[in-house]
Amino acid sequence: MNLKEFEALAKSRRAIRYFKSDPIPDDLLRRVLDAAHWSPSGYNLQPTHFFLAKDTEVKKDLHKACLGQRQIIEAPVIVALTGDRRVYPSHLEKIVDSDMKSGAMDERYAGILRRNVKLAFDQGPMGLGWLGKACLAPFFRLLRPMPSIPAVDKSFWLTKQVMLSAMTLMLAAEAAGLSSSPMEGFDEGRVKRVLHIPSSHVVSIVIALGYAKERSVKSRLPLQDLLHEVHH
């Protein structure tokens, strides 16, 4: 794909609220989800999970949890994208293993990754590590540059990762001839109950997928109003 084709793809995607009832072929849906799964994540920890709802009864309950938004009922597939707070203990060693096998990582890098991820994510016994990191970070930051620490604000870290997968999902859907509808208008607790999402997960966004019945028109502010180039 060249830039011209990508520009056309990015600019043709619209948030769609009216869907046909046509189902999405399973292999097409699988490919769109797989493209989203290839999105980047910090330390390649891959915290994003995809919870699907196609069943009419499940969608009825989800419709209520998503504040009655019509696209939940109309679209054939609803995907809730979540980030798992427990990703550090559950994924790190699997990822080290898989990257070592693929040749993407050697022992030295694996050691550095283990150390850095522990430093960034470990909340210590009874959350005392969290307290230490939350209290000490502002002081260290006075002396040297410090990034925000996932252990201190895990939801913020997870939301960043999950939303990259969300964007890839919507662009892949568009490339597959599908349309999407991103939604933050939902009650997180109720969405978790309806989709049996584990309590350690944060639900960042719900996306309806399907074939558009009606396309909408949108504008954007001039890029120059939002573009900032800094000079000495």
Ligand X SMILES: Cc1cc2nc3c(=O)[nH]c(=O)nc-3n(C[C@H](O)[C@H](O)[C@H](O)COP(=O)(O)O)c2cc1C
Binding site for ligand X (CB under 6 A): 14-15, 17, 69, 182-185, 205, 216, 218
Q: Smaller CB distance to ligand X: residue 25 or 189?
A: 189
Least Å from the CB of residue 147 to ligand X? 23
With both helix axes pointing from N to C terminus, report the angle between 56-65 and 188-195 in degrees, rounded to the nearest 10. 170
Least Å from the CB of residue 9 to ligand X? 13
In this chain, which residue has its C-beta nearest to ligand X? Answer: 185
Q: Smaller CB distance to ligand X: residue 133 or 201?
A: 201
Give how far Cα 35 sits from Cα of 101, 142, 166, Å.
Answer: 22, 41, 10
Least Å from the CB of residue 101 to ligand X? 36
Identify whether the C-beta of residue 129 lies closer than 8 Å to the C-beta of residue 122. Answer: yes
Amino acid identity of residue 144, one-letter, is R
CA atoms within 13 A on the CB side of 212: 18
Q: Smaller CB distance to ligand X: residue 184 or 214?
A: 184
Q: Smaller CB distance to ligand X: residue 18 or 130?
A: 18
Residue with tokens 């559950």: 90
**CA neighbor of 168 nearest in space, from 10, 60, 43, 16:** 10
Distance CA 115, CA 52 (A): 35
Least Å from the CB of residue 51 to ligand X? 17
**CA neighbor of 89 nearest in space, from 113, 126, 121, 111:** 121
Least Å from the CB of residue 2 to ligand X? 22
Q: Smaller CB distance to ligand X: residue 8 or 112?
A: 8
